[in-house]
């Protein structure tokens, strides 16, 4: 169980982050919730308190190392250490590369999706070593396979995968475990509405539907917590996507055909 575990969770104000906060609160974890939107963050914290959790919030941007460092220090001062860090904050994109009007969108994706993970690990690592704790990066199956219209997002998630795989090797023998979460499309998030378009701005309402392979954020959060308890090195959701990643490694053309077919179904609303 996660009872009394000291947990720092980024991207906690909505979507999967909020669902994870509730799942951890139900298990009695002590929570430091981090996100940019203070009002939504406080709303999540109130529900966590109703579930019996000890919780505080810290508003900031994971792209800013000083913001993440400040949140870590607050947690350490409050609880004399940290047991688990979940780097969950992220943004997406939905546009063909050739249509992008300003390549600065790629920097923003890397700053949030990749550097946000790096900042969390850098700030918390000394305390995770003390507690022989767990570092969790919520990535995407797109950190293993490419998906059209997501070039910057895919690149950032590949960076996360490479960073975490290397960090895990460097930490062998320290007692610190590194876990990477690789979900497919998630239902119940605003990731698509906040995805960046060709002008670098959020797309807002989109007509694209989730595929039949998508999973709910509640189901995803429960799977993540269970994998955290096992201190797994990787969680792919749904499990059958492990096959796609394996096929891509061995026969990339076959996997790409599957991906293109899935995107066509979404465009047709099937």
Instruction: Say which DSSP state 143 is in.
Output: G
Whether 153 is catalytic is yes
Contacts of 267 (CB under 8 A, 6+ apart): 208
Output DSSP code: residue 204. -
Q: Dig out the tokens for 265 from the structure.
A: 């179904």
CA distance 270 to 260: 14
Q: Do the Cβ atoms of 99 and 197 come closer than 8 Å?
A: no
**Tokens (6 digits) for 191:** 């990731």
C-beta atoms surrounding 129 within 10 Å: 13
DSSP letters for 209-220: PPPTT-EEHHHH
d(CA 19, CA 26): 11
Tokens representing residue 155 in the block: 């690149």
H-helix segments, 63-216:
65-79, 104-109, 115-131, 151-170
Which two three-digit tokens encode residue 165? 């795989």
Catalytic residue among 22, 114, 127, 153: 153
Give the integer Cα–Cα distance in Å for 237 and 155: 20
Q: Are 78 and 127 in contact (CB under 8 A)?
A: no
Buried b (16+ CB within 10 A) or exposed e, 237-255: beeebeebbebbeeeeeeb
Q: Which residues are catalytic?
A: 153
């Amino acid at each position: 169980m996660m009872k009394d575990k000291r947990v720092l969770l980024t991207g906690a104000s909505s979507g999967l982050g909020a669902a994870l906060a509730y799942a951890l609160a139900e298990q009695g974890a002590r929570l430091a919730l981090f996100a940019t939107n203070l009002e939504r963050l406080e709303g999540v914290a109130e529900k966590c308190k109703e579930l019996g959790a000890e919780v505080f919030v810290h508003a900031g941007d994971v792209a800013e190392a000083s913001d993440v460092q400040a949140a870590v220090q607050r947690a350490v001062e409050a609880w004399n250490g940290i047991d688990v860090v979940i780097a969950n904050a992220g943004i997406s994109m939905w546009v063909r590369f050739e249509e992008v009007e300003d390549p600065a969108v790629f920097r923003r994706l890397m700053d949030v999706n990749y550097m946000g993970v790096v900042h969390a690990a850098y700030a918390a690592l000394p305390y995770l070593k003390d507690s022989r704790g767990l570092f969790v990066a919520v990535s995407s199956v797109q950190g293993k396979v490419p998906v059209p219209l997501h070039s910057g997002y895919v690149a950032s998630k590949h960076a996360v995968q490479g960073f975490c795989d290397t960090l895990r090797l460097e930490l062998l023998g320290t007692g610190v475990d590194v876990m990477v979460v690789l979900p497919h499309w998630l239902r119940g998030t605003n990731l698509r509405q906040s995805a960046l378009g060709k002008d670098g701005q959020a797309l807002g309402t989109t007509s694209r539907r989730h595929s039949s392979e998508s999973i709910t954020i509640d189901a995803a959060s429960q799977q993540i917590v269970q994998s955290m308890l096992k201190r797994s090195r990787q969680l792919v959701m749904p499990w059958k996507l492990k096959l796609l990643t394996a096929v891509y490694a061995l026969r990339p053309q076959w996997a790409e055909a599957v991906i293109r077919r899935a995107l066509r179904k979404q465009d047709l609303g099937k």
